[in-house]
Each structure stands twice: as C-alpha cells, then as structure tokens.
Amino acid sequence: MQSISGIVYLILIACLLPYVFAMIAKAVGGFTLKDNQNPRQFLSNTNGLAARANAAQQNSFEGLPLFIAAILMAEYMVIDQHVIMILGSAYLILRVLYGICYLANWSSLRSVMWLLSMCCPIFLLVLVIRLT
C-alpha cells in the first residue's frame, strides 16, 4: 500500500507542476482580476519571463499524458516499485530543472533537461514492453 501512495504522489506533483509555472507567468506578467475575463489571451500577450513561464506551463501539460500513462502501465505490469519511483522522481526533478532553465532563458540546457525528462517515462514503457 505504501508504494501505491508514492506513485499517487508522483502523479499528483506532476499534475500540479504546470500550475506553478502558470502562477509564475501571471505574477510576473502583472495579472489582475480584470485579466481573469480572458486569462489565456492575457498569457498569450506576455513577453520575457512571463512568456517563458507560460511556455513551461504549456510544455508541462503536453508531457503529462506520457508520464501518467507510463507510471500507470508500469504499475499495472508490476514493474519493480523502486524502479518506478526512481524514474518517476527523476522525471519530476528534471521537469523542475527544465522549468528553471526555461525561466532563466538557458535554451540549450533546457533542451537537455527536456530530453532527459522524456527518457524517464519512455524507459518505463520500454520495460513494460519487454514484459509482454
């Protein structure tokens, strides 16, 4: 039961991460209650740090389905819990680093963090495939 809760935490944190970047984008971009009428338009009109935070938010949402599918499939196929937790935790750490690189405008390092983060769920799926 303890290992299942760890996996739930991985998924929860991954699901909340895009919202952290959204809050940063809004805070830095000068979001007001007036902008709440159309927050997507507000975010699309930002630039600099706010625009990069919004892009990190969007990319975090884009990577989420692969991560969740890989974690759930690995759990379903009874991949070793330590492997799931290590790769899931590595994904989250790399995604946070990816976001930091995005905010800091370190594009080359950001690309490396993105690639490494995407390798984690892909490797989990490869392990699942090898079991079938």
Contact at 8 Å (CB) between 98 and 52? no
* pLDDT tens profile 70-122: 999 999 999 999 999 999 999 999 999 999 999 999 999 999 999 999 999 99
What percentage of residues in the chain have a pLDDT greater than 90? 86
The 10 Å Cβ neighbour count of residue 32 is: 9
User: Which pLDDT does position 3 carry in this prediction?
Assistant: 60
Domains and CATH numbers, the chain: 2-131 (1.20.120.550)
Give the list of residues 6+ apart from residue 21 with CB closer than 8 angstroms, or none. 53, 54, 56, 57, 60, 99, 102
Give the pLDDT of residue 103.
Answer: 98
**pLDDT score of 126:** 97
What's the pLDDT tens digit per position in 26-84? 999 998 877 788 888 989 999 999 999 999 999 999 999 999 999 999 999 999 999 99
Position 1 pLDDT exceeds 50: no
Q: Would the pTM of this model clear 0.85, i.e. be above it? A: yes
Tokens linked to 104:
């800091």
